[in-house]
Chains A and B, each alone.
Chain A
Amino acid sequence: MSSHAPAHAAHGHDAHSPSVPLSYWWKRVGWMTPAFFAAGLVIVWFVRAVFGMDPLWNAEVYYTVATLLAGFGFLTGIGCFDWWLKYAMGRKVDFHDHSFHGATSWKAYFRVNTDHKVIGTQYVVLTFIFFIFGGLFAEAIRAELAEPGQQFVNGEQYNGLFSTHAVIMIFLFVIPMFAGLANYVLPIMIGAKDMAFPRLNALSFWMLVPGGVMILASPFVGYFSAGWTQYAPLAIQGGTGVTLFQIGVQFAGFSSIFTAINFLVTIATMRAPGMTVWRMPLLVWANATTSALVVFGTPFVAASQFMNLFDRVMGTNFFDATQGGDVIAYQHIFWFYSHPAVYIMMIPGFGIISEVLATFSRKPVFGYRALAMATVAIAVLGFGVWAHHMFTSGMADWLRVPMMITTVIIAVPTGIKVFSWLGTIWRGKLHLKTPMLYALGFLFTFTIGGLSGVFLGTVPITIATTDTYFIVAHIHYVFVGGSAFTIFAGIYYWFPKMTGRMYNERLGAWQFWLFFIGFNATMYPMHWLGLQGMPRRVADYDERFAEVNLVISVASILMVISTLLFIYNMVNSWIRGPKAPWNPWRGRSLEWLVSSPPSIFNFETDPLVVGGPYQYGIEGARHAVVYAPTEVGGELTEAEKRTILVVAHETLASQQLVDAIRRKAAEEHYWRFTIAVPAADRDKRAAERRLQTVLAVLAEDGIDASGQVYDLGPVEAATKAASEETIQGAIVATYSKDSSRWLKQDVVDRMRKSLRSDLTQIVVTPGEVVEAFDAKGVQHVVVIGRDGLSSQGLMAELERRADQGPLRVTVLAAAGIEGPAWTDEANALREDVGERAGETLGLLLLAGIPAEGEVIDRDAPAAARVAAESYSPDLILVASARGESAIENAVEAVRENAGIVEVEHFIVDAEAPAAPMGS
């Protein structure tokens, strides 16, 4: 155990994978687990023989000790104890041993790993597997209950089904899943490099494996039928399945306790400079509170299960009323933990919801301190309400009313939380991404569960509804509508951070709605069933409940489909989803200020926390400053790190694209843009001109952008640009479907596949307004002329100027109509001049010069007046064909009308019409 000061200075944290292969550890598991199991058998035999116990063979005693030791055998084999054993044997050890830290391949996830991020991922994946098993048990229950009578299982097996379902969901899914999510994000959120005790953290995770296997195996060696609560005396009549459960739950319990201690020490001692308690994200508050509950509550369930086990296996009499034991005592001890356990299963979810709601409402959390203190209040009050589970148990009568009052009082801090969340989303700018959908769904369902909880907290209602489906409905509204919804929200929310990939948003939304509807359709009718008197924990039921039960069973399939969709989305996105940016949700807390996934020790140096975590929408507010080593360039302003790739060729110099970049840049101050201009077989000089013009425009807006022209096709150019720096997203601009060559070649889809990042397509209409280029850095030239327009000479001149510096052109074609403007001659003249002007514009656009134009009915001086009045150009270029006297003679008048604008006269030889370059 390390006891050094927390701030590991950046001393060469280079992790190297241990040289032993993965198979080494699993071979050790392979022989040590059975060896320890056998050792357990031998020890019991020895002790029983020595003390002359009769009979020598008592199966349950042997199994109890042997399975306990087998669990330790597994842990020893996988290598959890290696470091400590070395320490205990007096060998030289390194307190900062990082040889088991971090992951470079999938193999690192299948051995002991001390990296909190790897452990977090291990937790989430393993507990989700347990969730699937728990769900299968639930579906088996629903299959049996689909119609009255006995179909698939007998009463004993049915009891085993619901008991195992509950145990898996509580001890193997909800509690460890929260531990896993917090394991991943909590150290980053407080600016720490890892947990306080990484080796203990690894042990906590691996303890879940034998614990989980034992609990999953228990139905196959004799169902335990007393429910997850294991009430004596029924539980004491159980068989080996109960033994496996009771040993397994001890592993899970120890795992929780160690994780909780780890969290508490980490939060207490490893916060980054400036991270005061009132700047901690609410998830950290929630986990600190939960950890305290676990540390002081879980030993009670451990003790209750030990005594229960001894009563059954050893023949002790704790809960045997005929031998002076107290049956009710079991329930008191059990619920003294297990009611706080309800909050252990809920409070971390409250933390997740606070994070998600604030981020996706773009608002500071409403009542931050009230939320934090309400969390603590719930935990403290939670220790004083346990007996409300026992109103009908025959416990002392005088306990009822005090427990009813304390129970109902818990609604006050819970209400504070719910109203604070509503205050957070009130008038917020809601972004309905999947995590937010789950958070809003949570608000809805959890409130229903909370309200039925207030009902059930009162003695008369409990007495009326005890052991009916009303209870089932209530706990599922709290644990599914509450805990499971927050878990889904959390997984979606941090999926980009954990995997470095984006999940599929549309599938996510589908998954949410299926789950939400399926859940409500499954659980809501149970309220009614309960009030009608349908008893829970019975395999059969009265005919009159048949229809509703069938509906419930069918509706529950929606949740199965939804879960399959979730698995597909997660697995598929993890493998081939687009690369996630650092901060896809624009969150403020520290985990969003590091890369996705974070580097091996999260931060190169300690971040400095300078403000609260939820200051959304507050000008200039910052939560933290993240530093990078001097080699990288000092403070890590995210601008250096977060790049959007822009791919466009002709479409680059367009209003739509520039606006899109501006919009993106306005989102966060740290986006920077790399523009890749693919110009294989195209006019490279034109491409360069466009690029320079756009860069000049963006520079004036203070947008950090750079670019390059590539002699490559679009996909190749984008891939090349993306290989040169880490990109967080891409924008590609094309023409519309009908006129786009790129779309015909499927460029966008190919690019999306190749870049694997978030790609936005902008459709540009050709020949549009160019206000976007009205920028100081771009010289604005008005060309006035008639016959001289669209000549090669003029084009060459403008291109020459454009090569010297960014340029945009307005063509004013002076038709020179004299007399009335509605005559046929006038119209013909106008058309002729307009055609010429259009041709010029086309040539200019092809040459990479943004251009627009109009036809002026009158002569050149009139055009000059228009130019000076409406276009505010930097230069007026009067273009005349050689010998075109109408224009040549008007130059002086033009100068007069142009006022302060500089006027140049350019004479072109009109013989050769200009041809676009490069074609």
Chain B
Amino acid sequence: MSTEAIPVRAAPPVTDEVPRISQGMLAMLLFIGSEVMLFAALFAAYFFARFNIADNVWPPVDPATGEPFELPILMTAVNTAFLVFSSFTVWWAEHRLMHGDRRGMIRGLWVTIMLGATFLIIQINEYAHLSFSPQDQAFGSTFYVLTGAHGLHVFVGLSLLTVMLIRAYRGDFSPSFATPLTAASAYWHFVDVVWVLLFILVYLL
């Protein structure tokens, strides 16, 4: 009945546009964007306390000892190196997969998980030996909540990587299909980048 110049076709039209990015990866990038904003909010609280109230007298003085609060910069620097290094190893794992080397990928994942777990253990150890608690002024609160939120993200990243390791053993990934792995690794890079920022802003400056 219609007289429009539209060809009457019985077959479905072929989708001619293949998206440049997989759905999973796009979702992960958006989620990371969301996480960035979460840290932005926590950093905002930190900046308010440090620059607006304490006027950059930082770390503030501990009323109990009369000395400024102290942070273990050296140990954390080493720990930072572990985490940064793990970003390279997870990249390497992906890289091995792209060359069809499944065992290399599994090895890379193992090393990454080990490094991440090391970071987390050192961090918990640091908590146990710090001279101040979350209840010690805004300084303690922001420090613990920032590093704690990050630690939680490291834990989530480790969980994701562990699942990827399990799936890698099952032989899920191939050079043509590795979206879950690349998404998990993107998340891991994000966790890493946040830590570098956090280390610079909270520990060093």
Residue A680 at the chain B interface, CB threshold 8 Å: no
Partner of A635, one of B10, B25, B60, B140: B10
Contact A325 B138 (CB under 8 A): yes
Q: Is the CB of B48 within 8 A of A10?
A: no
Q: Are A3 and B49 neighbours in the complex by a CB distance under 8 Å?
A: no
Contacts A3-B179, A303-B42 supplied; 18 other A-B pairs, CB < 8 Å: A1-B24, A1-B179, A10-B12, A88-B163, A265-B23, A296-B33, A298-B37, A299-B38, A300-B38, A310-B145, A316-B135, A325-B138, A326-B138, A328-B48, A606-B13, A627-B9, A627-B13, A635-B10
Q: Measured between C-beta atoms, what is the minimum distance from A306 to chain B in Å?
A: 8
Q: Which residues of B contact A630 (CB under 8 A)?
A: 10-11
A329–B52 alpha-carbon span in the complex (Å): 9
Cα(A625)–Cα(B8), bound, Å: 9
Given contacts A90-B169, A299-B37, A318-B141, contact A325 B53 (CB under 8 A): yes
Produce 1/0 per residue, A60-99, CB < 8 A to B: 0000000000000000000000000001111000000000
3 nearest CB pairs, A to B: A303-B41, A3-B179, A605-B12
A-facing mask of B19-57, CB < 8 A → 1, else 0? 101111111001101110110111011001100111000
Q: With a CB–CB cut-off of 8 A, which chain A residues contact B19?
A: 5-6, 268-269
Q: Is A773 an interface residue (CB 8 A)?
A: no
Q: Are the CB atoms of B35 and A299 closer together than 8 Å?
A: yes
Does chain A have a CB within 8 A of B170?
yes
Contact A324/B10 with A257-B34, A269-B26, A304-B41 known, Cβ cut-off 8 Å: no
Could you count the A-B residue pairs with CB atoms below 8 Å apart for me: how many are there?
196
| A329 and B44 in contact, given A3-B179, A316-B134 (Cβ under 8 angstroms) | yes
- The residue of chain A having its C-beta at the shortest distance from the C-beta of B60 within the complex is A324
B1, B16, B145, B163: the one contacting A704 at CB < 8 Å is B1
Considering only CB atoms, which chain B residue lies closest to A396 in the complex? B52
Most chain-B CB neighbours within 10 Å: which of A321, A329, A333? Answer: A329
Question: Complex: how many Å from CA A626 to CA B169?
Answer: 44
20 contacts between A and B (CB under 8 A): A1-B24, A1-B180, A268-B26, A273-B14, A297-B37, A300-B40, A314-B134, A316-B134, A316-B140, A317-B135, A317-B138, A318-B45, A329-B52, A333-B41, A333-B45, A627-B13, A629-B10, A635-B8, A669-B2, A702-B1
In the assembled complex, how far is the CB of residue B61 from the closest CB belonging to chain A, in whole angstroms? Answer: 10
Q: Which residues of B contact A296 (CB under 8 A)?
A: 33-34, 37
Determine how close the nearest CB of chain B comes to the CB of A523; give it in whole angstroms: 33
Interface residues in A306-327 (C-beta closer than 8 Å to B): 306-307, 310-311, 314-318, 320-321, 323-326
Which residues of B are found within 8 Å of A90, using beta-carbon distances? 166-167, 169-170
User: Does B137 sit at the interface, judged by CB under 8 A?
Assistant: yes
Interface string of A264-304 (1 = CB under 8 A from B): 11001100011000000000000000000001111110111
Q: Are B167 and A634 in contact (CB under 8 A)?
A: no
Asked if A261 CB lies within 8 Å of chain B CBs, one says: yes
Given contacts A264-B30, A329-B44, contact A7 B23 (CB under 8 A): no
Query: Taking the nearest CB of chain A, how far is it from the CB of B197, in angstroms?
Result: 16
Contacts of B10 in A (CB 8 A): 627, 629-630, 633-635
* Number of chain B residues whose Cβ lies closer than 8 Å to a Cβ of chain A: 61
Contact of A316 among B1, B3, B53, B141 (CB under 8 A): B141
Question: Bound complex: CA of A240 vs CA of B31, how far in Å?
Answer: 31
A255 to B17, CA, bound (A): 31
The answer to whether B166 and A265 have CB atoms under 8 Å apart is no
Check: A670 CB closer than 8 A to any chain B CB.
Answer: yes
Give Cα A89 to B167, complex, Å: 8
Give complex CA distance A297, B17 in Å: 31
Alpha-carbon gap, A314 to B135, bound state (A): 8
A4 to B177, CA, bound (A): 9
Q: A318-B138, A606-B13 are in contact. Are A2 and B2 (CB under 8 A)?
A: no
A438 to B29, CA, bound (A): 38
* Residues in A whose Cβ lies below 8 Å from that of B41: 299-300, 302-304, 333, 336-337
How many angstroms between the C-alpha atoms of A273 and B31 in the bound complex?
27
A10, B139: Cα distance in complex, Å: 59
Which chain B residues lie closer than 8 Å to A605 at the CB level? 11-13
B contact face: mostly helix, strand, loop, or mixed: helix
The answer to the question of A610 belonging to the interface, with a C-beta cut-off of 8 Å to chain B, is: yes
In the complex, the answer to whether A625 meets B22 with C-beta atoms within 8 Å is no
What number of A residues sit within 8 Å (CB to CB) of B?
A: 75
Partner of B23, one of A3, A336, A625, A637: A3
Chain B neighbourhood of A260, CB < 8 A: 30
Alpha-carbon distance between A311 and B45 when the two chains are bound, in angstroms: 12
A819 at the interface (CB under 8 A from B): no
Q: Say whether A622 faces chain B, with CB atoms less than 8 Å apart.
A: yes
A295 and B32 alpha carbons, distance in the complex (Å) = 9
Task: State whether B27 touches A261 (Cβ < 8 A).
Answer: yes
Contacts A90-B169, A317-B140, A329-B45; is A9 near B34 (CB within 8 Å)? no
Alpha-carbon gap, A637 to B1, bound state (A): 8
- Which residue among B19, B41, B177, B179 has the maximum number of chain A CB atoms within 10 Å of its CB? B41
**Is B4 engaged at the interface, CB distance under 8 Å to the other chain?**
yes
The residue of chain B having its C-beta at the shortest distance from the C-beta of A302 within the complex is B38
Closest to B31 in A: A261
A318 to B146, CA, bound (A): 12
Shortest Cβ gap from B137 to chain A (Å): 4
User: Is B204's CB within 8 Å of the partner chain A?
Assistant: no
Tell me whether A332 is interfacial, beta carbon within 8 Å. yes
Please name the residue on chain B nearest to A9 by beta carbon: B12
User: Hey, which chain A residues are within 8 Å of B137, CB to CB?
Assistant: 317, 323-325
Query: A599 to chain B: closest CB distance in Å?
Result: 15
C-alpha spacing A9/B11, complex, angstroms: 11
Assembled-state Cα–Cα distance A608/B15 (Å): 10
Q: Does A620 contact B (CB under 8 A)?
A: yes
User: Which chain B residues lie closer than 8 Å to A264 at the CB level?
Assistant: 26, 30
- Say whether B179 contacts A324, CB under 8 Å: no
Any chain A CB within 8 A of the CB of B87? no
Determine if B142 and A326 form an interchain contact, defined as CB atoms under 8 angstroms apart.
Answer: no
* C-alpha spacing A261/B48, complex, angstroms: 30
Asked if B64 CB lies within 8 Å of chain A CBs, one says no
Taking a contact as CB atoms under 8 Å apart, the answer to whether B30 and A265 are in contact is yes
B8 touches A634 (CB 8 A): yes
**What is the distance, in angstroms, from B97's C-beta to the closest C-beta of chain A?**
15
When distances are taken between beta carbons in the complex, the residues of chain B under 8 Å from A316 are: 134-135, 140-141, 144-145
